[in-house]
Structure 1
Amino acid sequence: MLTILASIMIAVVALEHLYILVMEMFLWTTPRVMKTFGTNPEHAELTRSMAANQGLYNGFLAAGLIWSLLHPDATIAYQLAIFFLACVIVAALYGGLSVKRSILLMQGLPAVIAFLLVLISH
Protein backbone atom coordinates (compact mmCIF):
# COMPACT_ATOMS: atom_id res chain seq x y z
CA MET A 1 0.00 0.00 0.00
CA LEU A 2 2.82 2.45 0.85
CA THR A 3 4.51 1.63 -2.43
CA ILE A 4 1.34 2.59 -4.32
CA LEU A 5 1.05 5.84 -2.33
CA ALA A 6 4.71 6.60 -3.01
CA SER A 7 4.18 6.03 -6.74
CA ILE A 8 1.10 8.26 -6.73
CA MET A 9 3.00 11.05 -5.01
CA ILE A 10 5.94 10.70 -7.41
CA ALA A 11 3.46 11.01 -10.28
CA VAL A 12 1.90 14.10 -8.66
CA VAL A 13 5.31 15.76 -8.36
CA ALA A 14 6.18 14.80 -11.96
CA LEU A 15 2.88 16.20 -13.26
CA GLU A 16 3.41 19.40 -11.30
CA HIS A 17 6.79 19.88 -12.94
CA LEU A 18 5.39 19.12 -16.38
CA TYR A 19 2.78 21.80 -15.72
CA ILE A 20 5.51 24.25 -14.69
CA LEU A 21 7.38 23.35 -17.89
CA VAL A 22 4.31 24.26 -19.97
CA MET A 23 3.80 27.52 -18.09
CA GLU A 24 7.43 28.61 -18.31
CA MET A 25 8.18 27.43 -21.85
CA PHE A 26 4.93 28.08 -23.69
CA LEU A 27 2.57 30.26 -21.64
CA TRP A 28 4.99 32.67 -19.95
CA THR A 29 3.49 35.83 -21.46
CA THR A 30 -0.18 34.91 -20.95
CA PRO A 31 -2.21 36.88 -18.39
CA ARG A 32 -2.87 33.85 -16.19
CA VAL A 33 0.79 32.84 -15.98
CA MET A 34 1.93 36.42 -15.48
CA LYS A 35 -0.49 36.64 -12.56
CA THR A 36 0.74 33.32 -11.16
CA PHE A 37 4.37 34.46 -11.26
CA GLY A 38 3.68 38.09 -10.37
CA THR A 39 5.04 39.58 -13.57
CA ASN A 40 3.78 42.17 -16.03
CA PRO A 41 3.88 42.08 -19.85
CA GLU A 42 7.16 43.99 -20.10
CA HIS A 43 8.94 41.84 -17.54
CA ALA A 44 7.49 38.64 -19.00
CA GLU A 45 8.76 39.53 -22.45
CA LEU A 46 12.22 40.42 -21.13
CA THR A 47 12.48 37.15 -19.17
CA ARG A 48 10.85 34.89 -21.75
CA SER A 49 14.02 32.97 -22.72
CA MET A 50 15.14 32.67 -19.10
CA ALA A 51 11.73 31.26 -18.13
CA ALA A 52 11.86 28.79 -21.02
CA ASN A 53 15.25 27.60 -19.76
CA GLN A 54 13.81 27.13 -16.26
CA GLY A 55 10.90 25.25 -17.78
CA LEU A 56 13.28 22.91 -19.54
CA TYR A 57 14.95 22.10 -16.22
CA ASN A 58 11.55 21.38 -14.68
CA GLY A 59 10.95 19.02 -17.58
CA PHE A 60 14.16 17.18 -16.78
CA LEU A 61 13.01 16.74 -13.19
CA ALA A 62 9.67 15.39 -14.39
CA ALA A 63 11.40 13.05 -16.85
CA GLY A 64 13.59 11.62 -14.11
CA LEU A 65 10.62 11.04 -11.84
CA ILE A 66 8.66 9.36 -14.63
CA TRP A 67 11.73 7.24 -15.38
CA SER A 68 11.74 6.14 -11.74
CA LEU A 69 8.11 5.03 -12.08
CA LEU A 70 8.74 3.07 -15.28
CA HIS A 71 12.11 1.47 -14.63
CA PRO A 72 11.77 -2.33 -14.45
CA ASP A 73 14.52 -2.79 -11.85
CA ALA A 74 13.15 -1.93 -8.40
CA THR A 75 16.56 -1.01 -6.98
CA ILE A 76 17.35 1.39 -9.80
CA ALA A 77 13.81 2.79 -9.70
CA TYR A 78 14.26 3.48 -5.98
CA GLN A 79 17.60 5.22 -6.57
CA LEU A 80 16.14 7.33 -9.38
CA ALA A 81 13.16 8.35 -7.24
CA ILE A 82 15.37 9.33 -4.30
CA PHE A 83 17.75 11.30 -6.51
CA PHE A 84 15.14 13.22 -8.49
CA LEU A 85 12.93 13.90 -5.46
CA ALA A 86 16.00 15.21 -3.62
CA CYS A 87 16.69 17.50 -6.60
CA VAL A 88 13.12 18.82 -6.44
CA ILE A 89 13.43 19.38 -2.69
CA VAL A 90 16.71 21.29 -3.07
CA ALA A 91 15.23 23.39 -5.89
CA ALA A 92 12.14 24.11 -3.77
CA LEU A 93 14.28 25.14 -0.81
CA TYR A 94 16.35 27.45 -2.96
CA GLY A 95 13.32 28.90 -4.72
CA GLY A 96 11.42 29.26 -1.47
CA LEU A 97 14.27 31.12 0.20
CA SER A 98 15.34 33.25 -2.76
CA VAL A 99 12.21 33.88 -4.84
CA LYS A 100 8.88 33.18 -3.16
CA ARG A 101 8.10 31.38 0.11
CA SER A 102 5.07 29.64 -1.39
CA ILE A 103 7.43 27.52 -3.51
CA LEU A 104 8.34 25.66 -0.31
CA LEU A 105 4.72 24.61 0.12
CA MET A 106 3.66 24.18 -3.51
CA GLN A 107 6.70 22.31 -4.80
CA GLY A 108 8.61 21.29 -1.70
CA LEU A 109 5.87 19.69 0.38
CA PRO A 110 4.64 17.19 -2.24
CA ALA A 111 8.26 16.22 -2.96
CA VAL A 112 9.04 15.75 0.75
CA ILE A 113 5.92 13.61 1.19
CA ALA A 114 6.86 11.51 -1.85
CA PHE A 115 10.47 11.25 -0.63
CA LEU A 116 9.38 10.02 2.81
CA LEU A 117 6.91 7.55 1.32
CA VAL A 118 9.63 6.15 -0.97
CA LEU A 119 12.00 5.80 1.98
CA ILE A 120 9.55 4.00 4.29
CA SER A 121 8.10 1.79 1.54
CA HIS A 122 11.50 0.48 0.46
Structure 2
Amino acid sequence: MTTLTLILTALIGIEHLGFMLIEMFAGPKTQARTFAMPYEFVSQPQARIALENQGLYNGALGLLIILSMVIFSGSTLLSLVRLYMLFVMIVGAYGGFTVTKKIYFVQLLPATLVLILSFF
Protein backbone atom coordinates (compact mmCIF):
# COMPACT_ATOMS: atom_id res chain seq x y z
CA MET A 1 0.00 0.00 0.00
CA THR A 2 1.20 3.48 -0.78
CA THR A 3 1.75 6.19 1.81
CA LEU A 4 -1.14 8.16 0.30
CA THR A 5 -3.49 5.20 0.84
CA LEU A 6 -2.41 4.89 4.46
CA ILE A 7 -2.84 8.62 5.09
CA LEU A 8 -6.32 8.65 3.55
CA THR A 9 -7.25 5.52 5.51
CA ALA A 10 -6.18 7.20 8.76
CA LEU A 11 -8.19 10.30 7.84
CA ILE A 12 -11.29 8.16 7.32
CA GLY A 13 -10.74 6.60 10.74
CA ILE A 14 -10.40 10.05 12.30
CA GLU A 15 -13.47 11.23 10.40
CA HIS A 16 -15.55 8.46 11.97
CA LEU A 17 -14.29 9.38 15.42
CA GLY A 18 -15.48 12.91 14.61
CA PHE A 19 -18.89 11.59 13.62
CA MET A 20 -19.00 9.81 16.97
CA LEU A 21 -18.27 13.02 18.87
CA ILE A 22 -21.01 14.91 17.04
CA GLU A 23 -23.57 12.10 17.34
CA MET A 24 -22.91 11.45 21.01
CA PHE A 25 -21.94 14.79 22.52
CA ALA A 26 -22.96 17.70 20.30
CA GLY A 27 -26.13 19.62 20.93
CA PRO A 28 -29.25 19.30 18.81
CA LYS A 29 -28.50 22.49 16.83
CA THR A 30 -25.10 21.19 15.75
CA GLN A 31 -26.51 17.75 14.96
CA ALA A 32 -29.37 19.20 12.93
CA ARG A 33 -26.99 21.38 10.90
CA THR A 34 -24.34 18.67 10.43
CA PHE A 35 -26.70 15.88 9.44
CA ALA A 36 -29.29 18.02 7.59
CA MET A 37 -32.06 16.94 9.96
CA PRO A 38 -34.86 19.06 11.44
CA TYR A 39 -34.01 20.54 14.83
CA GLU A 40 -37.38 19.40 16.18
CA PHE A 41 -36.47 15.82 15.27
CA VAL A 42 -32.98 15.68 16.79
CA SER A 43 -34.31 17.34 19.96
CA GLN A 44 -36.59 14.39 20.70
CA PRO A 45 -35.30 11.99 23.39
CA GLN A 46 -35.71 8.95 21.12
CA ALA A 47 -33.75 10.60 18.30
CA ARG A 48 -31.00 11.59 20.75
CA ILE A 49 -30.70 7.98 21.89
CA ALA A 50 -30.62 6.75 18.27
CA LEU A 51 -27.88 9.25 17.39
CA GLU A 52 -25.85 8.24 20.44
CA ASN A 53 -26.18 4.58 19.46
CA GLN A 54 -25.08 5.40 15.91
CA GLY A 55 -22.18 7.33 17.41
CA LEU A 56 -20.98 4.20 19.20
CA TYR A 57 -20.84 2.35 15.89
CA ASN A 58 -19.00 5.17 14.14
CA GLY A 59 -16.55 5.41 17.02
CA ALA A 60 -15.93 1.68 16.97
CA LEU A 61 -15.34 1.76 13.21
CA GLY A 62 -12.96 4.70 13.46
CA LEU A 63 -11.04 3.05 16.28
CA LEU A 64 -10.82 -0.25 14.39
CA ILE A 65 -9.45 1.47 11.31
CA ILE A 66 -6.80 3.35 13.28
CA LEU A 67 -5.82 0.45 15.55
CA SER A 68 -5.56 -1.89 12.58
CA MET A 69 -3.03 0.48 11.05
CA VAL A 70 -0.98 0.33 14.25
CA ILE A 71 -1.26 -3.39 14.93
CA PHE A 72 -1.18 -4.98 11.47
CA SER A 73 0.98 -4.69 8.39
CA GLY A 74 1.40 -6.24 4.97
CA SER A 75 -1.33 -8.36 3.46
CA THR A 76 -3.34 -8.49 6.69
CA LEU A 77 -3.57 -4.71 6.87
CA LEU A 78 -4.37 -4.53 3.17
CA SER A 79 -7.26 -6.99 3.60
CA LEU A 80 -8.60 -5.13 6.61
CA VAL A 81 -8.41 -1.74 4.88
CA ARG A 82 -10.31 -3.12 1.91
CA LEU A 83 -12.93 -4.68 4.18
CA TYR A 84 -13.40 -1.49 6.20
CA MET A 85 -13.61 0.64 3.06
CA LEU A 86 -16.27 -1.65 1.59
CA PHE A 87 -18.23 -1.31 4.81
CA VAL A 88 -17.88 2.50 4.80
CA MET A 89 -18.94 2.55 1.13
CA ILE A 90 -22.10 0.56 1.86
CA VAL A 91 -23.00 2.74 4.83
CA GLY A 92 -22.17 5.89 2.85
CA ALA A 93 -24.33 4.81 -0.09
CA TYR A 94 -27.26 4.05 2.19
CA GLY A 95 -26.83 7.28 4.14
CA GLY A 96 -26.57 9.33 0.96
CA PHE A 97 -29.74 7.75 -0.35
CA THR A 98 -31.77 8.01 2.87
CA VAL A 99 -30.44 11.06 4.73
CA THR A 100 -28.55 13.63 2.63
CA LYS A 101 -26.61 13.59 -0.63
CA LYS A 102 -23.70 15.23 1.22
CA ILE A 103 -22.86 11.79 2.67
CA TYR A 104 -21.92 10.61 -0.82
CA PHE A 105 -19.06 13.12 -0.82
CA VAL A 106 -18.08 12.94 2.84
CA GLN A 107 -18.18 9.17 3.30
CA LEU A 108 -18.71 7.19 0.09
CA LEU A 109 -16.28 9.03 -2.19
CA PRO A 110 -13.23 8.95 0.16
CA ALA A 111 -13.73 5.26 0.96
CA THR A 112 -14.08 4.45 -2.74
CA LEU A 113 -10.88 6.34 -3.47
CA VAL A 114 -8.98 4.44 -0.75
CA LEU A 115 -10.34 1.11 -2.00
CA ILE A 116 -9.20 1.89 -5.55
CA LEU A 117 -5.79 3.09 -4.35
CA SER A 118 -5.36 -0.08 -2.29
CA PHE A 119 -5.00 -2.04 -5.52
CA PHE A 120 -1.91 -0.06 -6.58
Give the TM-score of the pair, scaled to structure 1: 0.87
Q: Which runs of 5+ in 2 are unaligned?
A: none
Indicate the SS of the match to 2:34: helix
- What's 1:94 paired with? 94
CA gap of 1:39–1:28, structure 2 versus 1, over 3 A, is farther
Q: Which runs of 5+ in 1 are unaligned?
A: none
Quote the offset at 1:28 in angstroms.
4.2
Give the TM-score of the pair, scaled to structure 2: 0.88
Task: Tell me the distance in 2 between the aligned counterparts of 1:79 and 1:28.
Answer: 37
Aligned residues: 117
- What's 1:116 paired with? 116
Task: Tell me the distance in 2 between the aligned counterparts of 1:73 and 1:8.
Answer: 14
- Poorly superposed stretches of 4+, deviation over 3 Å: none
Task: Tell me the distance in 2 between the aligned counterparts of 1:116 and 1:71.
Answer: 23
Deviation string, structure 1 residues 14-70 (Cα, Å, up to 9, x no partner) = 1111100000011142x2332222331x32232100001111111122122113311
Aligned partners of 2:31 and 2:42 also within 8 Å: no
Task: Tell me the distance in 2 between the aligned counterparts of 1:52 and 1:112.
Answer: 26
Deviation string, structure 1 residues 57-107 (Cα, Å, up to 9, x no partner) = 111221221133112341211111111111000000011111111111111
- Provide the aligned C-alpha RMSD in A: 1.5
- What's 1:65 paired with? 65
Amino acid at match of 1:43: F
Aligned partners of 1:67 and 1:80 also within 8 Å: no
